[in-house]
Amino acid sequence: GDSVTQMEGPVTLSEEAFLTINCTYTATGYPSLFWYVQYPGEGLQLLLKATKADDKGSNKGFEATYRKETTSFHLEKGSVQVSDSAVYFCALSDLLSSGSARQLTFGSGTQLTVLP
Amino acid sequence: NAGVMQNPRHLVRRRGQEARLRCSPVKGHSHVYWYRQLPEEGLKFMVYLQKENIIDESGMPKERFSAEFPKEGPSILRIQQVVRGDSAAYFCASSLYTGELFFGEGSRLTVL
C-alpha cells in the first residue's frame, strides 16, 4: 500500500536557521501531497499542499516541491522562528479501498524545536 | 471556536472497560474521519462516516471497535473491553464534502 517516510526527529535549531525536513513516499497513481503541523495542545492544521508533479506549495515562509522523479516532498524554511516549534507531518492523499473518497496516509511526524 | 471538537481530551480506562470518544465536526460538515496514532507512529486511518452511514471502515480492527455518526449529535468511536494496546491518540477530522480535512485536538486514551 501507499506509505510516507519522514525524517526522524527530534530536530533542534537556533532561531533564523535553515530548516529541511525530508519526506519521501511510495504510491500507486498520482497522489496529492501535504504537510500538516501540530502545535502543542492543538489539532493538526494544513500547512501546505501540492496536487501534481513540480507543483510548489507554500505558506508562512514554508515551501515544499512535489518531485515525482525522486518521490519526495521535502519541507523547507529559510529562517525559522521560535513560534515554528511544533510537530510536522507529511501526508499523501489516496483512495479508500471502497473507492468512496480519498483519505490521508501520514508519516510518523517530526518534532521541531527552535531555540531563541 | 467552530472547529472540530473532541472529548474527552484524556481518558484513562482499566483493561476490560469500555471507552467512548466523541467528535463534533465543524458546523455544516457531514463527513467524519477517525484516525489513530500509536506512540512513535503516524496517524492511521480507521473509518470514514457520513451522517447515519459508515462509508469505509477498512482501517478499523475487526473486533471491539465500532463507530457511528447519528443524524443528531456527535460521532462516537466506541472501544469495548479495552486492552493496553489500545492506548493511543485518537483524532477526528471532518470535511464539507471530500475536500480539506479539519482535525480536532485528539483524545488520548490510556489503558492501565
Q: Does A41 touch chain B (CB under 8 A)?
A: yes
Helix (H, G, I), strand (E, B), or coil: what is residue A94? strand
Grid look-up 479501498 returns A97
Chain A, nearest residue to B38 by Cα: A108
In sequence order, what are the residues at sequence separation of 6 or more whose Cβ sits closer than 8 angstroms to the Cβ of residue B73? Answer: none
| Span A95-101, average pLDDT | 70
Do residue A96 and residue B91 have CB atoms under 8 angstroms apart? no
- Please give chain B's pLDDT, 112 residues, in tens: 568 999 999 999 999 999 999 999 999 888 999 999 988 778 899 999 998 899 999 899 999 999 999 988 999 999 999 999 999 999 999 988 767 788 999 999 999 9
Which residues face A12 on adjacent strands? A113
Helix (H, G, I), strand (E, B), or coil: what is residue A83? helix
In Å, how far are B45, B51, B97 from A87, measured between CA atoms?
19, 31, 27
State the nearest Cα–Cα gap between A108 and chain B, in angstroms.
4
Interface of A with B in 57-86 (CB under 8 A): none
| Span A5-31, average pLDDT | 92
Please give the pLDDT value at position B23.
97
Which residues face B75 on adjacent strands? B23
Nearest by CB to B58, from A36, A42, A97: name it.
Answer: A97
Question: What SS3 string covers chain B?
Answer: CCCCEEECCEEEECCCCCEEEEEECCCCCCEEEEEEECCCCCEEEEEEEECCEEEECCCCCCCCEEEECCCCCCEEEEECCCCHHHCEEEEEEEECCCCCCEECCCEEEEEC
